[in-house]
Amino acid sequence: MRVLIQVNTSGEPQKYGLDPDEVVNFAREILSMGLSGDYEYAIEEGATELRLGRALFGPRPIPDSFYRPQADSR
């Protein structure tokens, strides 16, 4: 999924966007919403699409780190 996040790098109040220091946490919240671990919260917040693989099929036989080495270090 491609996501664009508007960032106010100049800090000017008349311009829109997140403060640069808020971007990482904001992106983590957006990209994790609607997955098996937080789907109930996502529904409460109005999510209309969910990914429920682990909730339906159980954990993967091969850990995420096999596919994405940085995934298990979060």
Tokens 């409460």 sit on residue: 44
C-alpha Rg value of the chain to the nearest Å = 16
Cα distance between residue 23 and residue 57, in whole Å: 32
Specify the 3-state DSSP secondary structure of 18.
Answer: strand
Q: How does pLDDT run along the chain (74 residues), one tens digit per residue? A: 577 889 999 999 888 999 999 998 888 777 766 677 788 888 888 877 777 777 877 887 877 677 766 644 54
